[in-house]
Amino acid sequence: MQDSSSRRKFLAIAGAFALQSKAFQTQGEQVIHFEDWKPFNPEKPGMPWDELTSWITPVEQLFAVGHYGYPQVDAAAWKLRIEGLVSRPGSFTLDALKKRPRQEYVATLECSGNGPAGGLIGNARWVGTPLTPILKECGLNPKAVEVVFFAADEGTEKIRGGEYKQHFARSLPLADALQQHVLLGYEMNGQPLTSKHGAPVRLIVPGWYGIAWVKWLTRIELHDRKYLGRFMGRDYVTIRGEQRGNDVIWRETSVGRMNLKSVVARAVRLPSGDVRLSGAAWSDGVPIRSVEIRIDGGDWAPARIESKRATPYAWTWWTFDWKGPKTGEHSIASRATDAHGRVQPAPDDPFIALKKTYWEANQYAVRKLKLDG
Maximum C-alpha span of the chain? 72
Number of other CB atoms surrounding residue 352 within 10 Å: 17
Task: Give yes or no for residue 6 having a pLDDT over 90.
Answer: no
Task: Give yes or no for residue 92 having a pLDDT over 70.
Answer: yes
Q: What is the mean pLDDT of residues 322-342?
A: 97
Q: How far is CA 223 from CA 55, 88, 143, 181, 230, in A?
A: 38, 15, 8, 22, 17
3-state secondary structure of 17: helix
Does residue 238 contact residue 334 with C-beta atoms inside 8 Å? Answer: no
174, burial (CB in 10 Å: exposed 0-12, middle 13-18, buried 19+): middle
Q: Tell me which of 6-10, 44-48, 84-88, 337-341 is least confident.
A: 6-10
Task: Give yes or no for residue 4 having a pLDDT over 70.
Answer: no
pLDDT band at residue 15 using 50, 70 and 90 as cut-offs: low
pLDDT, one tens digit per residue, over 208-240 is 999 999 999 999 999 999 999 999 999 999 999
Q: How far is CA 18 from CA 14, 243, 370, in A?
A: 6, 47, 31
Q: How far is CA 102 from CA 6, 126, 186, 230, in A?
A: 10, 11, 10, 33
The 10 Å CB-count burial string (b at 16+, else e) for 234-261 is eebebebbeeeeeeeeeeeebbbebbbb
- Give me the pLDDT at residue 10, please: 46
Domains detected in the chain: 4-26+51-236 (3.90.420.10)
Number of other CB atoms surrounding residue 128 within 10 Å: 25
pLDDT band at residue 44 using 50, 70 and 90 as cut-offs: confident
Task: Give yes or no for residue 63 having a pLDDT over 70.
Answer: yes
- Give me the pLDDT at residue 38, please: 87
Report the mean per-residue pLDDT for the chain. 92
Task: Give yes or no for residue 40 having a pLDDT over 90.
Answer: no
Q: What is the mean pLDDT of residues 321-341?
A: 97
Q: What is the pTM of this model?
A: 0.92
Q: Which residues pair with 128 in a beta bridge?
A: 103, 185
Task: Give yes or no for residue 296 having a pLDDT over 50.
Answer: yes
Number of other CB atoms surrounding residue 365 within 10 Å: 23
Does residue 63 contact residue 122 with C-beta atoms inside 8 Å? Answer: yes
